[in-house]
Amino acid sequence: MKGQWLEIEKEDRSTFSGYLSLPPTGKGPGILLIQEIFGVNEHIQQVADQYAMDGFVVFAPDVFWRQEEKIQLAYDESGFKKGLDFYAKCDMEKATQDLVTAANFLRKREEVVNSIASIGYCMGGLLSYMVGAKEAVDAAVCYYPGGIDKQVNAAHQVNIPLLFHFAEKDHYIDEKAVKVVSKVFSKKADAWVLTYPNVDHGFNCWARGMYNQPAAALARGRTLEFLSLFLNKQ
């Protein structure tokens, strides 16, 4: 499967791009796929293609375009350092608005039927939640979202189904943060907070040393089940 890069024009006439991958049938529910700090790199493009093979129209926007367009960093020391620098300089509110624009772009595409969801990893997991708070998507999946415990004040604004995947041995998100999220969202009927034992941050990424195939497969299966429940309503 071969995806393509497309340009989005904002209201101020500025543009940014994203990677689009279509399902074999050419049509399906939409997924707004949100990158890690490493950009829309080879891994994220492959994840987009993977979900496209499951029947989704997937669009992965370039979050860091205001700093540098289409960065694609490797999962090594240099890439990690550069990614953290991009993240530190990223205006998350502007990034959220860009993703709302991208969600609207995706929703209006003729290939998209029914609803759209966001799926994000790490920084993208937090942004998936923030886009959900704006109700730009119909459901949101958040993989190990860093800093999510500091954003739960927006929980009352979130009226869409949510799915959180956390790693028990996460070096960046401690147990206390997960408990905060669990406590807040346990009150919501359409919110699930799941923790995977004995795995670290980034367990879903097969290009990283902390990749854990059983946990990644389980989380992916749960994500697909979640999407099947909430993205196929007419």
Low-confidence ranges of the chain (pLDDT < 70): 1, 233-234
pLDDT of 155 reads 80
Phi, psi of 58 (to 5 degrees): -115, 130
pLDDT of 233 reads 61
- At residue 88, the 3 state secondary structure works out as helix
Q: What are the residue ranges spanned by the domains of the chain?
A: 4-230
Which of left, alpha, beta for 110 (phi over 0: left; psi -120 to 50: alpha)? alpha
| pLDDT tens, position by position, 37-88 | 999 999 999 999 999 999 999 999 999 999 999 999 999 999 999 999 999 9
- The residue count of the chain comes to 234
pTM (2 decimals)? 0.96
pLDDT of 154 reads 75
- In CATH terms, the fold of domain 4-230 is Rossmann fold (3.40.50)
Say if CB 204 and CB 210 are below 8 A apart. no
- What are the residue ranges of helices labelled H in 89-174? 92-108, 123-133
The pair of structure tokens assigned to 228 is 């099947």
Say if CB 207 and CB 121 are below 8 A apart. no
